[in-house]
Amino acid sequence: MPADMGDIRLLTLEHSLYEMHARLMRTEESNTALSAKCQALNDSMVKCLQVITSTVDGVPALILFTVESRYVTVHGHHDPRLRESRAP
């Protein structure tokens, strides 16, 4: 094998190494961007969960208020049983 063939193979190997490094850098940049998007999505999901939780927590009070309001409208006074159910 002549010395020139060894040099050509070494240059080809070096070129392949640089190409692989460039691909690795692009992949790392893509992974960083994807990680940022996933974090933003996670933050949004946490906010949605908080809104849903606060909404669900308020529904029983809203139902009780509606029932009590209708009772007052029909009977003209508050039902003491409804007031007792509000006590913690």
Q: Give average pLDDT by consecutive 10-residue segment, the chain, 88 residues.
A: 77 96 98 98 96 86 79 72 56
Specify the number of domains making up the chain: 1
> What's the CA gap between 68 and 82, in Å, rounded?
7
Asked whether the whole model's pTM tops 0.85, one would answer: no
CB of 63 closer than 8 Å to CB of 57: no
What is the predicted pLDDT for the residue at 86? Answer: 52
Burial tier of 82 (Cβ tally within 10 Å: 0-12, 13-18, 19+): middle
Domain range enclosing 30: 3-86
